[in-house]
Amino acid sequence: MALSSSETKDEDLEVGLIATCRICYQCDDEEDGDLISPCMCKGSQQFVHRSCLDHWRSIKEGFDFSHCTTCKAQFHLQVVELEENVWRKIKISLFIARDVIFALLVLQTVFGMLGGIAYLGDKHEYLRDLLKDYFYTIVIYYGIGVIVFFVLLGSMVFIVGYCLLDDNGRINCCAHCEMDPLLWFVVALLFCVVVLPGSFGIGCALQGAITLIQWITNRHNSILAKKELTKEYVVEDLHGCYTPAELDPEHMERLKALKLF
């Protein structure tokens, strides 16, 4: 006869082993729920909060969704039919908006810092006097910060792309770069001219922004989708008595297609 989860934990306490979650290292509480024993692990690794385990399954990739990362045992998964949750799409949109806004705030901070440096460097306020009839002071130095950022970005990408990579795409040291005087003149000209590095920097920034948004979208979509799957494929509590797990072939193929098995 299998012992209940509470009886198993009482026995652990009698032998001096306190049952704690192997992820958060906390005992039973109302917030995290009861401790379960879903695999072959023993001792301090035996118990885990269901909420902690489901969170772990949602953020890890592949095999960890359906197997224990420590003993490699397959979880006993109880399949629960769920209705389509429209809130997942809303959550994804909110998380994407949050991360994009954070990235924009960081970028605005960089613009402001560069503009502040330009303001401190313009001790005699030549730039302000030159453009004060057209723009407010804060707009002038903010615009300078934006221009300097894109010029620096374009210049750095050009230097890294040309000087650090050889014809085979391997990284070299800039000390070994050999360029003829004409090419040095071209490089110097690119540094001196604002339009070309600035335009190049804008292009790099746009490409980086697109890549970042795609990564954020895919990341949140993957995590939230797996959170929904943790509710559909619920890990059973085996009370310390593990037996080989079996899963319906249809659901197994589905998890394999999602690279979660």
Secondary structure in 3-state letters for 86-116: CHHHHHHHHHHHHHHHHHHHHHHHHHHHHHH
pLDDT mean across residues, the chain = 75
- Residues 93 and 230: their CA atoms lie apart, in Å, by 21
pLDDT at position 182: 62
Please report which confidence band the pLDDT of residue 180 belongs to, taking 50, 70 and 90 as the band edges.
Answer: low
pLDDT at 258 over 60: yes
| Cα end-to-end span (Å), the chain | 31
- pLDDT value at position 75? 92
Cα 179 to chain centroid distance, Å, stands at 40
Total Cβ atoms within 10 A of residue 104 = 11
Percent of the chain at pLDDT exceeding 70 = 66
Q: What is the 3-state secondary structure (H, E, C) of 151-206?
A: HHHHHHHHHHHHHCECCCCCECCHHHCCCCHHHHHHHHHHHHCCHHHHHHHHHHHH
- Helix and strand totals (H; E) in the chain: 8, 4
pTM (two decimals): 0.51
Spatial separation of the C-alpha atoms in residues 154 and 186, rounded to whole Å:
15
Q: According to the model, what pLDDT value does residue 200 have?
A: 64
**The pLDDT of residue 41 is above 70:** yes
The per-residue pLDDT for 85 is: 63
Across the range 80-97, mean pLDDT stands at: 74
Q: What is the pLDDT of residues 184-235, one digit of tens each?
A: 666 666 666 655 566 666 777 777 777 888 888 777 777 777 888 888 889 9
The first and second tokens of residue 64, run together, are: 């960890």
Q: With a cut of 70, say whether residue 2 has pLDDT above it.
A: no
> What are 172's strand-pairing partners?
none
Among residues 64, 58, 50, the alpha carbon closest in space to that of 227 is found at 58
Q: Is the pLDDT of residue 138 over 70?
A: yes
Residue 130: which of 116, 143, 114, 148 has the closest Cα? 143
Question: Which of 33-47, 163-177, 233-247 is the least confident region?
Answer: 163-177
Among 32, 36, 1, residue whose Cα is nearest residue 19 = 36
Query: Does position 14 have pLDDT exceeding 50, yes or no?
Result: no
Of 207, 225, 182, 195, whose CA–CA distance to 59 is shortest?
A: 225
C-alpha to C-alpha distance for 62 and 66, rounded to whole angstroms: 8
Domains and CATH numbers, the chain: 5-76+236-257 (3.30.40), 87-222 (no CATH)
Mean pLDDT of 11-37: 69
Q: What is the pLDDT of residue 160?
A: 67
Residue whose C-alpha is closest to residue 245's, from 40, 7, 81, 70: 40
Is 80 within 8 Å of 235 (Cβ atoms)? no
* Least-confidence region, from 97-111, 131-145, 162-176, 229-243: 162-176
In the 8-state DSSP scheme, what is residue 139? H
